[in-house]
Amino acid sequence: MKTRILLFALMFTGIVSYSQQDAQFTQYMYNTININPAYAGSRGAMSIFALHRTQWVGLDGAPTTSTVSINTPLNNSHLGLGVSLINDKIGPTRENTLSADLSYTIPTSEKLKLSFGLKATANLFDLDISKLNPKDSDPSIQNYNNKFTPNIGAGVYLHSDKAYVGLSVPNFIETNRYDDNEVKIFKEKINYYLIAGYAFDLNSDFKFKPALLTKMVEGAPLQVDISGNFMFNNKFVIGAAYRWSAAMSAMLGFQISDSMYIGYGYDLETTKLENYNSGSHEIFFRYELFKNNKKITTPRFF
């Protein structure tokens, strides 16, 4: 029989996989290409982005996530191209996900553009049973090394310099990362996303942008993230967010130059998990190369 420790570890892995599924980011609004391929090239610049998230600090086996991406519009066309890599560790499991994104943008008015995107993904999944520390070994539980699963996704993204709304499904194919005697212990479910945001010019030096992310996945509660960020002098950003029945967040950002932006986020759990961890930390860096070396006159929120 499996020991209580082994059962707990597998239940923990299952709970995390079903409740979180795709890696989550508090500051998703600065690089939504991870969830919506239509975002590729929408900033009008080659955008290089890197983020690291440490979740539930102090809790053994808690998720840690790193991602790096690059996306750009293709010259003299309506196409955008992006590539991203996500490394996600949860307990005894590790996933590396490499994605390629292609978008096509149609101007719908002087200010609005509508983009369509396709995503192709390759996932490598590892399970290290030695990290479960069971008292009694079970031969039916085996290591998994670099189990490969492909996937495809799509999205639409309506945007201007001040507003955006997007719908996306990053992965259309449900996959079983790990089976134990035909019992699905770790299954990747389909995630549905709705994102929206608007930047209000309160005055020449003061802007406010509320944003919304809604994620729906079978077998998990509806996730709703509501956030609000203030930008001062086109340089300093401060904001807060609330993840429905899950966490509250504080966010800080600084526009170092026209090309460089750095941000930090801190999450405080509002569930019973707050008794077992000291919160979650997230830091990211964005660097952009502007077409023909032109500068943007007003840094954008997204």
10-residue mean pLDDT profile of the chain (302 residues): values are 39 41 85 94 93 93 94 92 95 91 96 96 85 56 76 96 95 73 63 95 92 89 93 94 94 94 95 88 93 51 66
- Would strands 206-217 and 191-198 be described as parallel, antiparallel, or unpaired? antiparallel
Give me the half-sphere count of Cα atoms (radius 13 Å) on the Cβ side of residue 205. 3
**pLDDT given for residue 10 in this prediction:** 41
DSSP 270: -
**pLDDT given for residue 145 in this prediction:** 75
d(Cα 99, Cα 33) in Å, to the nearest integer? 10
pTM: 0.85
**pLDDT given for residue 3 in this prediction:** 37
Where exactly are the structural domains of the chain? 28-291
- Extended beta strands in 128-203, E state: 144-159, 163-169, 175-180, 183-188, 191-198, 200-203
Sign of the CA dihedral running 216, 55, 170, 27: positive
